[in-house]
């Protein structure tokens, strides 16, 4: 919500130039995505048509029907949205979204073919093993213990204490936490689940990480050149 309508479309135009400058993205080994505000989605879908960029939404409701102010996953799918952010720390804190609400949204998104980008993370800096356990428990709650559903999500690991900070969590810490989460997921056959890192993520971080599938950029992507730099880092890791 940092950008208005026209500003977002102008930003997307610049972002498309960064993507077009990297034809290697067409191979699909690196998948870029953008998640603008709801009113921008139809115009964004037009701008992104024919590009490798996946369009995402910042939230969703859990069903069609009398839920005034919500946006249903079925409408998101109709608009060409391929991914929806669910359970962001701000939604949990300021809008009182609990595990039950998040689980309803995850199931609804999956049922309509929209990939949940499930936001999870510990609220305070912790020992990596303890943080991994917290994250795993959040994932388990979000899928109500249905590991078939879990296999259809992307996990966005965002330590709450690192969101908006001057620097992200250290690369070693993130790598250790993600390794711990993968070890717990392995017990359910999901060690390879995509897990990306957010929380003041910026260029230069991805090459330092181990076992992390990508980055979830916030304010550092307001400059599309930074987005392009991270794409280059991701592409280099696929070679």
Contact assessment for residue 44 and residue 36, using Cβ atoms and an 8 Å cutoff: yes
Catalytic residue, from 88, 97, 112, 233: name it: 88
Radius of gyration of the chain (CA): 17
Backbone angles phi, psi at 54, to 5 degrees: -85, 135
- Tokens representing residue 211 in the block: 């076992």
Contact assessment for residue 229 and residue 24, using Cβ atoms and an 8 Å cutoff: no
Catalytic residue, from 18, 122, 158, 176: name it: 158
Q: Is 88 a catalytic residue?
A: yes
What H or E segment, with its residue span, contains residue 176? helix 171-186
The three-state DSSP-derived secondary structure of 104-133 is HHHHHHHHCCCEEEEEECCCCCCCHHHHHH
By annotation, the residues acting in catalysis are: 88, 158
């Amino acid at each position: 919500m940092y950008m208005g309508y026209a500003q977002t479309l102008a930003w997307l135009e610049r972002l498309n130039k960064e993507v077009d400058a990297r034809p290697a993205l067409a191979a699909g080994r690196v998948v870029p995505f953008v998640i603008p505000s709801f009113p921008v989605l139809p115009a964004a879908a037009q701008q992104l048509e024919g590009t490798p960029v996946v369009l995402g939404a910042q939230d969703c409701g859990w069903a069609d029907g009398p839920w005034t102010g919500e946006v249903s996953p079925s409408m998101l799918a109709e608009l060409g949205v391929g991914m929806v952010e669910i359970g962001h720390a701000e939604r949990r804190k300021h809008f009182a979204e609990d595990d039950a609400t998040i689980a309803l949204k995850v199931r609804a998104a999956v049922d309509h073919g929209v990939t949940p980008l499930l936001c999870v993370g510990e609220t305070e800096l912790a020992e990596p093993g303890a943080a991994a356990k917290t994250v795993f428990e959040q994932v388990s709650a979000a899928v109500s213990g249905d590991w078939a559903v879990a296999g259809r999500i992307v996990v966005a690991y965002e330590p709450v204490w690192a969101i908006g900070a001057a620097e992200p969590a250290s690369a070693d810490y993130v790598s250790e936490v993600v390794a711990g989460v993968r070890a717990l997921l392995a017990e359910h056959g999901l060690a390879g689940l995509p897990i990306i890192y957010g929380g003041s993520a910026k260029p230069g971080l991805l090459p330092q990480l181990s076992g992390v599938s990508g980055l979830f950029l916030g304010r550092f992507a307001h400059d599309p050149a930074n987005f392009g730099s991270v794409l280059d880092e991701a592409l280099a890791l696929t070679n």
